[in-house]
Amino acid sequence: MRISSLLALFLMLLPPALAEGLPDLGDTAQLALTPQMERRVGESIMRDIRLHEPDFDDDPEATAYLNALGNRLVSNSADARQDFEFFLVKDATLNAFALPGGYIGVHTGTIIGAQSESELAAVLAHEIAHVTQHHMARMASKEGQLSMAMLAAMALAVLARNSQLGSAAAAIGQASAITAQISFTRDFEREADRLGFLTLEKSGFDVRAMPTFFVRLQKAGRLYENNAPAYLRTHPVTSERIADAQNRIQGLTYRQVPDGLDFQLVRAKLRADQGTSRDALAQAEGDLRDKKFSNEIAARYALAVALLRAKEPVRAEAELAPLMKTTDHPMFAGLAARIKQAKGDNQGAADGLKQALARYPNNRALNYAYIEALQQLGKNRDAAALVEEQLKNYPRDARLYGLQAKGYASLGKRLLQHQAQAEAYVLQGSLPAAIEQLQLAQKSGDGDFYQLSSVDARLRDLRRQLEQETKEAKEKK
Ligand SMILES: [Zn+2]
């Protein structure tokens, strides 16, 4: 089941009675879905994805790269003020999709299959335009049965959060046969292409990537017919779109845009992470042997990743070492640490990460890795101090709270452990689980007066929030 059909799924699952019985939403033609409302809808779907979607890929290196690329494009889009979050879905097929409110999912297969960074940027720029032009909301605001149902589906997505209606993910499990997708209308596709092109150009990418990519997609579509990339179902590539894209590049001066090393390394890593470890290793070795690569450093890095996956850390280290001598990159430092850990050298891993962080203090993947390395060494106080410092910069980072909870557990501080775990759950969108953790914190018996009052206050606060949401859900039913 693909996340991309999530919205479609809401539609299908919606009983007709519910679609009709939404007087409070008013006349659909009049309804303007506010950006706040869109954000809430997107947020609630995103929460379900984070919590329940097994294919959600939270690889911090790849996610950081995707967001850096995405935000570079957003700053050259039609609405640079809109908040965006780009996330990865572990799926070998080519697809990308926008949820309302600026959440954009990208299948790992899209990055692996991209022939250049500009191609990936072209896909993202198109999705960004769907968001900045509020295409989802505009489709929902149109008159007609589908749009009414879709609007209700959006509302339902909001309601599903923490209510008895059940989570979207639970529904997904039962509806895997549904393959329907919402596809954008031709007008919206045309607009997304036009604005996406401008964004791509302003951001300094190779705009020829757009028609090239379309042509390749269309060929793939013909080749596989029934098994065509999902992207083609949601964003049908027509001859008209290809012609438009080709017309736009007419007369533009040729600009060679080299792929960034970050892109090359992330693509190499995702490729080496795909499929079985045996196949990934054979592929990485074959690519190097046959010189089937656009960048030798990335191809060698892929081999090191594949070797580590295949439980050959000694060979992995031998492959990585010469790369690190010539090129300094945080992803090399991260891989070097994982290799050392696989060899049982936790101290060496921590030392290497510490040195790398001196050069890249704000690299989140390295910070997570260093916190974990310190915890493995039993240096829980140092780890806790680093978590605190990171939380000042990223107060909405659930992973940091998870690491904090783990650290407190090792130190035997039960109140603080459950309190941190509660915050992780809040950020993941699960209020009931957070409340349960705070109740455990109350009963832990190892907190002082101030700690206990802070737990009590937070518990009251979360209970109020949950009550409010349940009430909203009932009113709308
Ligand atoms: Zn589209």
Average pLDDT over residues 269-286: 96
Residue 24, pLDDT above cutoff 50: no
Query: Tell me, what's the pLDDT at 43?
Result: 82
C-alpha of residue 359 to centroid of ligand 1, in Å: 40
pLDDT band for position 309 (cuts 50, 70, 90): very high
Retrieve residue 429's tokens. 């969108």
Range from 78-82, 136-140, 298-302 carrying the lowest mean pLDDT: 136-140
C-alpha of residue 127 to centroid of ligand 1, in Å: 6
C-alpha of residue 192 to centroid of ligand 1, in Å: 6
Closest CA to 270 of 305, 230, 322: 305
Average pLDDT over residues 98-119: 91
Contacts of 388 (CB under 8 A, 6+ apart): none
Average pLDDT over residues 394-412: 95
Residue 180, pLDDT above cutoff 60: no
Query: How would you classify residue 105: left for phi > 0, otherwise alpha for psi between -120 and 50, otherwise beta?
Result: beta
Residue 357, pLDDT above cutoff 60: yes
Query: Tell me, what's the pLDDT at 406?
Result: 96
Query: Tell me, what's the pLDDT at 140?
Result: 64
Average pLDDT over residues 374-387: 96
pLDDT band for position 29 (cuts 50, 70, 90): very low
Q: What is the pLDDT of residues 144-166, one digit of tens each?
A: 434 444 544 544 443 343 233 33
Give the percent of the chain with pLDDT over 90.
Answer: 61
C-alpha of residue 189 to centroid of ligand 1, in Å: 5
If you average pLDDT over every residue of the chain, what do you get? 83
Give dist(CA 25, CA 45) in Å, integer: 20
Retrieve residue 36's tokens. 């706040």
C-alpha of residue 100 to centroid of ligand 1, in Å: 13
Query: Tell me, what's the pLDDT at 86?
Result: 97
C-alpha of residue 75 to centroid of ligand 1, in Å: 20
Q: What kind of fold does domain 388-477 have according to CATH?
A: 1.25.40
C-alpha of residue 124 to centroid of ligand 1, in Å: 10
pLDDT band for position 22 (cuts 50, 70, 90): very low
Give dist(CA 215, CA 213) in Å, integer: 5
C-alpha of residue 365 to centroid of ligand 1, in Å: 31
CB 232 within 8 A of CB 224: no
Average pLDDT over residues 444-460: 96
Give dist(CA 349, CA 237) in Å, integer: 47
C-alpha of residue 230 to centroid of ligand 1, in Å: 12
Q: What is the pLDDT of residues 257-274, one digit of tens each?
A: 999 999 999 999 999 999
CATH code 1.25.40 region(s) in the chain = 388-477
C-alpha of residue 409 to centroid of ligand 1, in Å: 47
pLDDT band for position 237 (cuts 50, 70, 90): confident
C-alpha of residue 382 to centroid of ligand 1, in Å: 47
C-alpha of residue 235 to centroid of ligand 1, in Å: 4
Query: Tell me, what's the pLDDT at 153?
Result: 57
Average pLDDT over residues 202-215: 92
Query: Strand (E) positions, 96-144?
Result: 96-99, 103-107
Measured torsion, CA atoms of residues 324, 330, 335, 340, in degrees rounded to the nearest 10: 80
Range from 92-96, 211-215, 233-237, 424-428 carrying the lowest mean pLDDT: 233-237
pLDDT band for position 32 (cuts 50, 70, 90): low
pLDDT band for position 424 (cuts 50, 70, 90): very high
Query: Tell me, what's the pLDDT at 320?
Result: 98
Residue 331, pLDDT above cutoff 80: yes
C-alpha of residue 217 to centroid of ligand 1, in Å: 13
